[in-house]
Structure 1
Amino acid sequence: MTAYAKPTIEPAAIASAIGYHFGEGATDIAPVSGGNLSSVFAFRHNGKDYIIKFSDMEQAYATEWYVSKLLRKHGVPFPRCIGQGQSGPLAYSILERIPGRNLVDCTAAEQAAQRPEVIGLLTAMNHADVSETAGFGWIKPDGGGTFPSWKDYVVSFFAKEQSGFWEGWRDIPGLEPDVADECYARLLAFSAYNEPHRHFVHGDVSPWNMLSDGSRITGIIDGNFAYGDFVVDVATLRIMTGDANIETEYRAHSEKLGIALPDYEERLVGAYYFKGLDGLRFFAKMGRENDYRHMRQFLLSLTN
């Protein structure tokens, strides 16, 4: 099995998708770096900047309309959705382009100065009002969750028989079955602490999915949007940055706002196994051996 490669998009397909929503007049169409699963391009139309991204994954952008409205309503700078559609076998989504560069490209000092804002925006996302919806796991286009419980979502997420991107994932070269089994058993044990909690989860919080002008966060982008325990986002940000201080900073900010965090440490362990096992199979599929070994060591040392 070869490492996954993003789809190659012909210029005519890009122009056709843009033209369907905007008509003529698009200029400065150019690829944008970043993104593991989407092929992304920037363009201008009538003096405004936009992004169009393409994916060969099923239902890749189906929830972005809902998520964009939800987060913007709560003051989170998520890009406004302009249009979506299909270009042959590929899904595409057009969004306003938020100014700024990826937070990861800021200096260490700039990132440190923006950490309080990152924690504040993460908390705002996690506590967006979703009381009028029900269900856990993947958020559907109508705003409902896909599964009746968090455990059902977890079991489905790591089921051996899957289609699409994760078809045959247990047989990915480099993924050690005994390590995957051990992490999954620990995940099931600790996910009991996550199950009672239902909030908005971005699902892919990282310095690569935050935009900055160097002094402030200008946008939050992308995500694997779901309903569940918000500590999944805390765990994700810690994994992606390697900074364990995020755990205590998030707790301190929550306490300042009067938000209780019962069983916080146990919930974090459950979240680490959930995101970490997914990371293991992803790194194996993408051929990222160093990242795989690092994640393996982190997970197996969590409860020792």
Structure 2
Amino acid sequence: MGKDNFLKSLLSDKVNMTPNGFATDQLSAEEFAERSELFFDSILDISSSSISGVAGYGWFEEEGKTEFATCRAFLTETFSDKREGYWFNWREMFETTVLDRDFFEKYYKEMEDRIHYCEGQRYLVYNNAFFDNMITDGASMLGFPDWSKSGIFDFLVDIANMDLHKPYWKIPELFTEYCKTRNILIPDFKERFLCMAYYKGIDTLRWHASIDDECSCDSIVKSISELKDRIYAL
């Protein structure tokens, strides 16, 4: 069974993998706020998928397998510089790009200190919830066409991805209100969200540094730096 068929076997009929419409990046902040419940409903629909037959943590390999036994192994190994492929010896970037060693190490530690909150939080995640990857009809439909980064870990990564892309849209703030109105209790929400947000933040930061995108790096650094105060104020 290939990955697409494997994912289809997990997802409920509520999740649209072949949507028609336009990228949600075209929405304004006000238009998103008006439709935010649709986004949060859809993320929770994904996370409610049954994964009883899937073990471990991490991104899906081609046949729907994950590589890591624990969340800690998954998150820390993500930043190993000995993994073969694009990120082999990536720490050389501290000397050759705008990636700042002290900043990276600070927020890697912030992530690492919170991993225990996410241990045991196993959900199907889209892990690609940037607004140019989600498709809407502008009304009642939201779809997710690109599952190349999907896997098993804390579903709050999908909310964190949205916030990383559009921090000025106040997405965790809106999500907190959404949960309150529906009596949805997410244990250790703030620490779990920060763990996932720091993981995605520093991972995305090193990507943009690797392609010399200094403007995006500056924006990500600002977002990461301000995040804890925002979340602890909720």
Counterpart of 2:165 (choices 233, 236, 240) is: 240
User: Greater CA radius of gyration, 1 or 2?
Assistant: 1
Residue identity matched to 2:127:
G
Q: Match for 1:144: what amino acid?
A: K
Instruction: Give the 3 Å change call, closer, same or farther, for CA 246–168 of structure 1 in structure 2.
Output: same
Distance 1:281 1:218, change over 3 A: same
Match of 2:56 among 135, 152, 163: 135
Aligned to 2:232: none
1:265 and 2:205 are equivalent in the alignment: no
Structure 2 counterpart SS, 1:227: strand
Q: Distance in 2 between matches of 1:215 and 1:236?
A: 22
Root-mean-square deviation (Å): 2.2
The residue that corresponds to 1:75 in the other structure is 14
In the alignment, is the contact (CA less than 8 A) between 2:21 and 2:136 conserved in 1?
A: yes
Q: Does the 8 Å contact 1:202/1:226 carry over to 2?
A: yes
Residue 168 (str. 1) matches residue 89 (str. 2)? yes
1:242, CA displacement in angstroms? Answer: 1.4
State the structure with bigger RCO (CA 8 A, min sep 6), 1 or 2.
Answer: 2
In terms of fraction of residues, the more strand-rich structure is: 1
- Contact 2:39 2:142 (C-alpha < 8 Å) held by counterparts: no
Scaled by the length of structure 1, the TM-score of the pair is 0.67
CA distance in 1, matches of 2:66, 2:182: 27
**Structure 1 position 257, deviation (Å):** 5.3
Query: What is the CA-CA distance between 1:283 and the residue it aligns to?
Result: 1.1
Q: Distance in 1 between matches of 2:27 and 2:228?
A: 34
Aligned pair count reads 224
Q: Which runs of 5+ in 1 are unaligned?
A: 1-61, 80-97
Report the counterpart of residue 223 of structure 2 in structure 1: 298
Contact between 1:65 and 1:141, CA under 8 Å: does it hold in 2? no
Identity between Structure 1 and Structure 2 (%): 23
Distance 1:292 1:63 in 2: 32
Cα shift at 1:218: 4.4
CA deviation after TM superposition for structure 1 residue 212, in Å: 1.7
Structure 2: stretches of 5+ with no match in the other structure = 230-234
> Residue 114 of structure 2 aligns to a residue in which SS?
helix
- Give 1 or 2: higher helix fraction: 2
Q: How far does residue 63 in structure 1 lie from its aligned partner after superposition?
A: 3.0
- TM-score, normalised to structure 2, is 0.85
Give the aligned residue type for 1:289.
Answer: E
Q: Which residue of 2 aligns with 1:65?
A: 5
CA shift in 2, pair 1:254/1:112, >3 Å:
closer
Does the 8 Å CA contact 2:123/2:152 hold for their aligned counterparts?
A: yes
Q: Which amino acid aligns with 1:126?
A: S
Residues 11-53 of structure 1, C-alpha deviation per residue, up to 9 Å, x if partnerless? Answer: xxxxxxxxxxxxxxxxxxxxxxxxxxxxxxxxxxxxxxxxxxx
**Residue pair 1:206, 1:236 contacting (<8 A) in 2 also:** yes
